[in-house]
Amino acid sequence: MNRVLFASIMTLVGLLVNPDAGLGGKLGFKGSDGKAEQARSAGAEDRSGPRMHQTLQRLIELGTENVQFLTCGGRMGSSWIPKGVSEISKIDGAEPSSAQDTINAVRKMVEEGIDLLLYSGGDGTTRDIISTLQDIDREDLPLIGVPSGVKMHSGCFAATPRAAAEVLHAWLRGDLLIANTEVMDLDEEAYLRGEWKVRLYAEAMTPSSPRWMQGAKQRIETSDESEIIEGMAEHIGEMMEENSDLLIIWGSGGTLRRMAKHLGFEKTVLGIDVVQDGIIIAGDVNEFDLLKLLSAHNGKSLILLSPMGGQGFLIGRGNLQISPAVIRQVGIDGVLGIATPAKLLTLTTLRIDSGERTLDDEFRTKKYLKVLQGYRTTRLIKVSQE
């Protein structure tokens, strides 16, 4: 591709924000769909809009040129655009907004001839966008997702808000090709049965960048890992026996759930539990619960987290309750990864997207995090520097 010719053409990018995405994360909601009012009344702070703002601020820093944005007025777009982004045109937004407003905005933007859609939301937002593109026969429209939801399993999301800017900037320069990726989401019917299962809903087009895009979540299938998982459970069990005062924040995921079952307690599906001396002292907790428990606890604390298969995210995907404030109270050295050898084979690094850049930088400065992969067997895994 002739980069000079490509860069001389003004590109129209749709800019869309689901202002309710991610609201329920720190409160322990499993998603924000239909729960925005409840989350806001409980004190939830905006997540999606500010993260789009971070993306656009990074675009300004990169000196991105030859791009015009088409966005919605208000909280579905223009409210989050920083000074310095000058080429903007608007369509009507809605306050409060709904999934139907997202659908209407996508339809209007496609009618106006956008070349790519940059959006901020989670898996639910992605499904609304994809279903709309399917209805109007425009599945070929490239997408870049700014990761802002409670759960983000789909491959069209960038790793972080700043990474979304890097992807868009590189694509505008002609450095990235468009490729297929998977749109994933939680199987709600399975969840109601107490099962954690992610399923493929559709495919989407997105700029191909293993460096900056997170990729779709992979479910790691092996013949039998029960002995390994039992060994990891025994390791944690011995830690509790040696220090009955140890407060353990037990993250979500299939491996941690199976470990808990081996130790004699049932973990909350997709939730965060707090365990002390082999007993759940607080189940399905939110950020406030965690901070309260940690403030009242005088002993040592530990956070157990399982990285997402294929993506490598340890923090910032499906565990927003474990906020920067919670991590700081426990300390970075109190974070222990949990992963079977089979899962570790799918990972080159561990990714951190806590929502606080200074904390992310502290993890990157540490360079390596300890991951338990068997009975008394740990491994140091690199922290992604992106």
Question: How many C-beta atoms lie closer than 10 Å to residue 306's C-beta?
Answer: 23
- Report how far residue 351's alpha carbon sits from residue 217's, in angstroms, rounded to the nearest whole number: 13
For residue 371, what are the β-bridge partners? 337, 379
- Report how far residue 357's alpha carbon sits from residue 338's, in angstroms, rounded to the nearest whole number: 24
Residue 30: per-residue pLDDT: 56
Residue 346: per-residue pLDDT: 80
- Report how far residue 249's alpha carbon sits from residue 233's, in angstroms, rounded to the nearest whole number: 14
Listing from the earlier edge strand, what are the strands of the sheet with 279-282? Answer: 279-282, 273-276, 247-250, 301-305, 335-338, 368-374, 377-382
Q: Cα angle at 303 between 297 and 304, to 5 degrees?
A: 145
3-state class of 117 per DSSP? strand
pLDDT (tens, 9 = 90+) of the chain, 386 residues, equals 444 444 457 899 999 999 998 886 676 665 555 566 676 767 777 889 999 999 999 999 999 888 999 999 999 999 999 998 877 888 988 888 889 999 999 999 999 999 999 999 988 899 999 999 999 999 999 999 999 987 777 888 998 899 999 999 999 999 988 988 888 777 666 655 556 667 788 889 999 887 777 665 555 444 468 889 999 999 999 999 999 999 999 998 889 999 999 999 999 877 899 999 999 999 999 999 999 999 999 999 999 999 987 788 899 888 889 999 999 999 999 999 999 888 888 888 999 999 899 999 999 999 999 999 999 899 999 999 87
Rounded to two decimals, the pTM is 0.73
Contacts of 11 (CB under 8 A, 6+ apart): 66, 67, 68, 115, 116, 172
For residue 12, what are the β-bridge partners? 68
Residue 339, both tokens? 């992963």
